[in-house]
Structure 1
Amino acid sequence: MTTYNNILVVLDPTLDQQKALNRAIELARLQGGKLTAFLSVYDFSYEMTTMLSGEERESMRQAVIKDRELWISDYLAAPRAGGINIDIKVVWHNRPFEAIVLAVLEHNYDLVIKGTHDHDVLKSMIFTPTDWHILRKCPCPVLLVKDHDWPKGGNIIAAVNAGSEQQHHLELNQRVVNKAQQMATMLSAQTHLVNAYPGTPVNIAIEIPEFNPQEYNSTMIHHHIDAVVKLAAQFDMSAQHYHVQEGMPEDVLPELAKQLDAEMVVIGTIGRTGLSAAIIGNTAEHVIDRLDCDVLAVKPANFVCPLQKD
């Protein structure tokens, strides 16, 4: 059964190895579907050539686009010869993330695959990387590819927030586990539920003398274990395939992913934007930089893209 029929693959012309494309081809061989190799190009100097007419500037832009299309076509010769169905789409746009999201909205892609790398923490706090913009605004799932292999019989982590009683978190948990199990079926892998929960707030223990941290911790862990057991039962998952640990997700998930040698972590992202995103970011974004495996980010069912036209 095809899980993703229409996949957008983001290329990086600065790299010799296109790991996103390699991953997309691997996925297409496993489950079929059509790929579109996508590239956003832009050169500000072409816009500043005031001595040329609008038509001449457009002609120059089209020449750049054509050159990039030829480069991609040469790169795709081998996989196309191997029977992989791949289209080419090159656009002129000064904001790569926006070009990607607009392409998804226009052509109804059901998955975006993009290579990623570690972001400098300080720069990431000041200048939001393209990856983060895509995570926040892309309406379809996004697979961010690193260098970890996809071996058969591996492990896929579904990162859940089972202890939350908020409806949007509960629904997102369902989507995350569903996507993780679909991927696990394709890759002949095992699905593991991972749920992190916060430890005792230090300030409360200090400021409220009658506060009992041991009782609080006991209540907290039992609450999360009960919630994870209930969620796991819905998907017929055994006890050895779910994990409940104290700590922040950005600490717990990378550690467990390393222990399990996971090939992928599936995580839900609400898509926070604006000032709140600049100040505190999203859990998915904090986790990604600390993982050595692929990350599949899933949006809620009712997510509305901020670039969506009414």
Structure 2
Amino acid sequence: MSTYNNILVVLDPTSEPQKALNRAVELVRLQGGKLTAFLSVYDFSYEMTTMLSGDERESMRQAVIKDRELWISEYLAAPRAGGINIDIKVVWHNRPFEAIVHAVLEDSYDLVIKGTHDHDVLKSMIFTPTDWHILRKCPCPVLLVKDHDWPKGGNIIAAVNAGSEQEHHLSLNQRVIAKAQQMAAMLSAKTHLVNAFPGTPVNIAIEIPEFNPQEYNSTMKHHHTDALTKLATQFDIAPEHSHVQEGMPEDVIPAIAKTLDAEMVIIGTIGRTGLSAAIIGNTAEHVIDRLDCDVLAVKPANFVCPLAKE
């Protein structure tokens, strides 16, 4: 039985090695499933053709789409020859992330695979690239592919927020660990739980003389350790594979992933909209930028896609 039965892989027209496609083919070889190679195209010179007839404009669109379909076919020749059945889907759209999300909504894909790379730190705090939009708005899990291989017997990290009592965090922890264990079983890998907890707030330590930072830190660590131990026990994960560390998630998770030489980090993403999303993104996005391995981003069970009604 496939973990993911209907996979959409997003190709990159600016890149020669199609690492998302290579990873998607590898995944299908491991677990089966249906694969669709996807590309959204848009020729901005099309905006200048308003003097043409509707038929002429449509012909121009179809010519661009056909050209891209042929381009994709060349990349698919090898995996198709190896017995992998891959469909092609090219759509005309000037906003790639919307095209991807609409495709997921229309054809019920259960996984999107896309290559990613390091974003400029300053720009990623101000602007929201395609990857970030997909992470916030795509209703199914998104696998962002980097350059790390998937050797057997490696390590898969489930990044959790074990210390939180909020229902959406508790539920998301369950989903993240379940997905991590599915991937670990497929890759004959070990599942690790990673939980970061905040250090002593400096302003409190300064403003309240009787505040004991050592005691505070000790209490926080015990709280998060106990919570993570319960999760590890529930999912039958070895105690030595549970990691609790003081610090921000965007520092702790990449550091542990590097130490373990992890193949993949599974992380929960809670979609945001509005100014807070545009300016700073969220923790998941900062973590992803600093990882050298693949990231599987999972949404909460009750997530409602903001594009679903459009």
Normalized against structure 2, the TM-score is what? 0.98
Secondary structure at the residue paired with 1:7? strand
Secondary structure at the residue paired with 2:267? strand
Alignment of 1:163-174 (within 5 A): 163-174=163-174
Q: Please say if 1:307 is aligned against 2:307.
A: yes
CA distance in 2, matches of 1:213, 1:124: 33
2:232 corresponds to which letter in structure 1? A
Unaligned runs of 5+ in 2: none
Q: CA deviation at 1:39?
A: 0.2
Superposed CA deviations along residues 176-233 of structure 1, whole A, max 9, x for unmatched, are 0000000000000000000000000000011111211111111100000000000011
Name the structure 2 match of 1:97: 97
CA distance in 2, matches of 1:125, 1:57: 38
Q: CA deviation at 1:127?
A: 2.1
Name the structure 2 match of 1:106: 106
Cα contact 2:127–2:279 (8 A) shared by 1: no
Q: Please say if 1:261 is aligned against 2:255.
A: no
Cα contact 2:113–2:145 (8 A) shared by 1: yes
1:63 corresponds to which letter in structure 2? A
Q: CA deviation at 1:273?
A: 1.6
Name the structure 2 match of 1:54: 54
Name the structure 1 match of 2:144: 144
CA distance in 2, matches of 1:99, 1:261: 34
Alignment of 1:183-198 (within 5 A): 183-198=183-198
2:284 corresponds to which letter in structure 1? A
Name the structure 1 match of 2:179: 179
CA distance in 2, matches of 1:91, 1:54: 18
Name the structure 2 match of 1:29: 29
CA distance in 2, matches of 1:280, 1:81: 45
Q: CA deviation at 1:125?
A: 2.1
Q: CA deviation at 1:252?
A: 0.3
Q: CA deviation at 1:13?
A: 1.2
Cα contact 1:8–1:37 (8 A) shared by 2: yes
Q: CA deviation at 1:38?
A: 0.1
CA distance in 2, matches of 1:203, 1:217: 15
Cα contact 2:197–2:247 (8 A) shared by 1: yes
CA distance in 1, matches of 2:279, 2:224: 27
Unaligned runs of 5+ in 1: none
Cα contact 1:132–1:285 (8 A) shared by 2: yes
1:106 corresponds to which letter in structure 2? E
Return structure 1 stretches of 4+ with deviation > 2 angstroms.
Answer: none
Cα contact 1:33–1:85 (8 A) shared by 2: no
Normalized against structure 1, the TM-score is what? 0.98
1:33 corresponds to which letter in structure 2? G
Q: CA deviation at 1:280?
A: 3.1
Cα contact 2:270–2:300 (8 A) shared by 1: yes
Cα contact 1:192–1:242 (8 A) shared by 2: yes
Cα contact 2:126–2:279 (8 A) shared by 1: no
Name the structure 1 match of 2:38: 38
CA distance in 1, matches of 2:211, 2:114: 47
How many equivalent pairs are there? Answer: 310
1:245 corresponds to which letter in structure 2? Q
CA distance in 2, matches of 1:135, 1:64: 28
Percentage identity across aligned positions? Answer: 89
CA distance in 2, matches of 1:207, 1:271: 35
Cα contact 1:47–1:57 (8 A) shared by 2: no
CA distance in 1, matches of 2:305, 2:50: 35
Cα contact 2:126–2:280 (8 A) shared by 1: no
Q: CA deviation at 1:55?
A: 1.7
CA distance in 2, matches of 1:238, 1:265: 18
Superposed CA deviations along residues 69-127 of structure 1, whole A, max 9, x for unmatched, are 01111211111111111100000000000000000000000000000000001112222
Name the structure 1 match of 2:250: 250
Secondary structure at the residue paired with 1:100? helix
Superposed CA deviations along residues 264-301 of structure 1, whole A, max 9, x for unmatched, are 00000001121121233211100011000000000000
Superposed CA deviations along residues 141-186 of structure 1, whole A, max 9, x for unmatched, are 0000000000000000000000000000000000000000000000
Name the structure 2 match of 1:83: 83
- Which range moves more in the overlay, 279-288 or 300-309? 279-288
Q: Please say if 1:210 is aligned against 2:231.
A: no
Name the structure 2 match of 1:235: 235
Secondary structure at the residue paired with 1:76? helix
CA distance in 2, matches of 1:101, 1:306: 10
Secondary structure at the residue paired with 2:301? coil
Secondary structure at the residue paired with 1:227? helix
CA distance in 2, matches of 1:281, 1:39: 25
CA distance in 2, matches of 1:243, 1:191: 11
1:111 corresponds to which letter in structure 2? L
